[in-house]
Chain A
Amino acid sequence: EAGVAQSPRYKIIEKRQSVAFWCNPISGHATLYWYQQILGQGPKLLIQFQNNGVVDDSQLPKDRFSAERLKGVDSTLKIQPAKLEDSAVYLCASSLASGGTGTQYFGPGTRLLVL
Chain B
Amino acid sequence: AQKITQTQPGMFVQEKEAVTLDCTYDTSDPSYGLFWYKQPSSGEMIFLIYQGSYDQQNATEGRYSLNFQKARKSANLVISASQLGDSAMYFCAMRWAGSYQLTFGKGTKLSVIP
Chain A residues close to B by CB (< 8 Å): 31, 33, 40-45, 48, 56, 89, 91, 93, 95, 101-109, 111
Contact = CB atoms under 8 A, between A and B. Distances in A.
B95 A106 contact: no
A53 B44 CA distance: 26
Interface stretch (B64-72, B74-82, B98-106): B98-106
A87 to B, nearest CB: 14
Interface residues of B, number: 22
Nearest to B9: A40
B100 A42 contact: no
B114 interface: no
A101 B50 contact: yes
A108 B43 contact: yes
Contacts of A107: 44
A49 to B, nearest CB: 11
Contacts of B42: 108
Given A109-B43, A109-B44, A43 B50 contact: no
Given A101-B52, A108-B43, A42 B33 contact: no
A48 B101 contact: yes
A104 B100 contact: yes
Secondary structure at the B interface, as helix, strand, loop or mixed, is strand
B44 A101 contact: no
Contact of B45 (A31, A45, A48, A93): A93
B52 A42 contact: no
Given A42-B91, A102-B33, A103-B50, A111 B43 contact: yes
Nearest to A102: B100
B102 A45 contact: yes
A106 to B, nearest CB: 4
Q: Which 9 A-B pairs have the closest CB atoms?
A: A42-B104, A106-B45, A102-B100, A109-B43, A108-B44, A101-B50, A43-B104, A42-B91, A42-B106
B35 interface: yes
